[in-house]
Amino acid sequence: MNIIFISNNSNRTKKIALTKTNVILISGAVLCVVLTLALVLNFLSLRYAHQIDLPAVRAVLVNPQEERHQKIQTHLQENLNSMASKLGQMQAQLMQLDALGQRLAEISGIKSDDLFIESAGQGGVYHALPDNEFTMSEFSHKVEELSNVLSERSDKLGALDLLLRNDRLLKLIAPSEMPIDTDWFSSGYGYRIDPFTGKKAFHEGVDFPASVGTAIKAAAAGVVVYSDRHPDYGNMIEIDHGNDLVSRYAHASKRLVELGQVVLQGQKIAEVGSTGRSTGAHLHFEIRHNDKSLNPAKFLKKPG
């Protein structure tokens, strides 16, 4: 290949002969220049594109990968904001849970301050911060805090539930229900004149007068540990309520429960009579702890 140059200032011409080798070298040089420019543009797009305010130049220089990265970041931030809103709702529910716990504590007679801190209202004027969006680190920290608080509240409510269950159980097994439908007794607990000897004696229970056949009910739930004939008490039943606490029902005309039977509070266990050492139809009722008599009046709740 020959290239001829013609000058206006001279009548002479110059001729350059290009060989195949020269063409290859020139093409390689041009290719290197193009690659170098491409690398420089790529570097500029990554390093300085965010500092350029010209939209047209930014459109040329901004790397498509960066655009995808920005879209992903925007999507993540939107999801994070949504989860932060849910976190706020959970915090509100936690405050309601605290209020419920306080009411349960009051019902059980426990000071609410010992279990729950009184929840306070929230409000005020909104002042936006320059950067008012949650970061992933801040959100994770908030979630961890809420998780710890929920775990603490769960433990406290569990303890409160156990206390309420135990309290209810104690009420069921404590001999507190009247064993007969009456609100008075003919002979109280303590020292009295014995009706048979006329001498001073200690009465270990209370006597409820009633007609023969009147229902006798268990003062509390328990297990029948005695159901038989006794020389002094006549037809007698004893119910063990646990914790070495036993209730005794004497002088019955008929026994309706057997040894080892489980009875419920208020269940009919016998009928009033005048068997054994008795002057007439009545129920002799005792409460004993470790085989020592206690005053039944301190346990029984008279019908209101």
**Parent domain of 32:** 2-61
Judged by DSSP in three states, 233 sits in: coil
What per-residue confidence (pLDDT) applies to 231?
94
Flag whether 103 is in a domain: yes
Flag whether 158 is in a domain: yes
Closest CA to 264 of 180, 175, 200, 202: 175
Closest CA to 223 of 179, 174, 262, 264: 262
Query: In the structure, what pLDDT confidence band is assigned to residue 111 with cuts at 50, 70 and 90?
Result: low
Boundary of a domain, candidates 128, 146, 173: 173
Task: Say yes or no: 161 and 222 in one domain.
Answer: no
Q: Which residue has the higher pLDDT, 88 or 251?
A: 251
Task: Count up the domains in the chain and report the number.
Answer: 3
The dihedrals phi and psi of 144, each to the nearest 5 degrees, come to -65, -40
Q: How far apart are CA 248 and CA 239, in angstroms?
A: 7
Flag whether 303 is in a domain: no
Q: Which residue has the higher pLDDT, 11 or 75?
A: 75
Flag whether 122 is in a domain: no
| pLDDT above 60: residue 207 | yes
Q: What is the mean pLDDT of residues 145-151?
A: 76
Task: Name the H helices within the chain.
Answer: 20-47, 55-61, 64-108, 136-173
Task: Say yes or no: 207 and 290 in one domain.
Answer: yes
Flag whether 279 is in a domain: yes
Contact 16, 3 (CB under 8 A): yes
Q: Which residue has the higher pLDDT, 81 or 288?
A: 288
Closest CA to 76 of 117, 11, 133: 133
Task: Say yes or no: 141 and 208 in one domain.
Answer: no
Task: Say yes or no: 230 and 154 in one domain.
Answer: no
Flag whether 78 is in a domain: no
| pLDDT above 70: residue 255 | yes
What per-residue confidence (pLDDT) applies to 120?
46
Q: What is the mean pLDDT of residues 97-109?
A: 69
